[in-house]
Amino acid sequence: MIAIIDYGMGNLKSVEKAFERVGVRAVITREKGIIDDSDGLVLPGVGAFGDAMANLADSGLDKVIIENVKAGKPLLGICLGMQLLMSNSEEGGLYRGLNLVEGTVVRFRGNLKVPQVGWNQIKIQKPHPLLEGIPDGSNFYFVHSYYVNPVEKEVEIALTDYETAFPSIIAKGNVYGIQFHPEKSSYPGLRILKNYGVMVGC
């Protein structure tokens, strides 16, 4: 079973339904016991980084997530959830993240229209089980104004160009992040979720 972590931000139901469509059992929860008993974690998110971290801290879920990851449990961050994996973010000031992947969340620079909203391609940098059955150049649905900038570039599994190349998929040990919304990305997005289910043994 996969635990979709409910900290008050994110389109939880649509993520749960997407897992259901690919035959992976997932439950929305904020209960430590259920999270501890799960086979894998999903951290979704929509909204501001600072508010998200405050919600995680107020509920104690930040510590629960970190404990489970340190124990070896897989964690998949989606959209804002991917950004929360980083050390800090410059969105609306400077905020500390979960620090599971060293790096910073930064805003798109230049004259770009932000947020980036719509379909965009990924450029696969290295093979990974999350990308099983997904061709290079596949399109996914993005909605974001900020992106992750990891210190260790080897964690970058796929990049996407939005005038600048940014990491759209990262992986470090048992921690994974995807910047796009898989539940809104048709077959490729559902395949990512199915692949994650296979990886965690669901």
Q: Which residues form the catalytic set?
A: 79, 181, 183
Integer angstrom CA distances of residue 180 from 52, 57, 79? 18, 25, 6
Rg (CA), the chain: 15
Q: Please identify which residue in the block is written with the tokens 């994974």.
A: 176
Nearest to 166 by CA among 176, 178, 174, 175: 178
Q: Please identify which residue in the block is written with the tokens 């974001």.
A: 144
Nearest to 168 by CA among 144, 151, 200, 187: 144
Q: At 196, which helix (H) or strand (E)?
A: helix 186-200
Residue 112 CA to residue 149 CA, distance in Å, equals 18
Residue 180 CA to residue 169 CA, distance in Å, equals 9
Query: Cβ neighbours of residue 96 under 8 Å, at least 6 residues apart?
Result: 53, 87, 88
Relative to beta strand 86-89, strand 95-96 is antiparallel
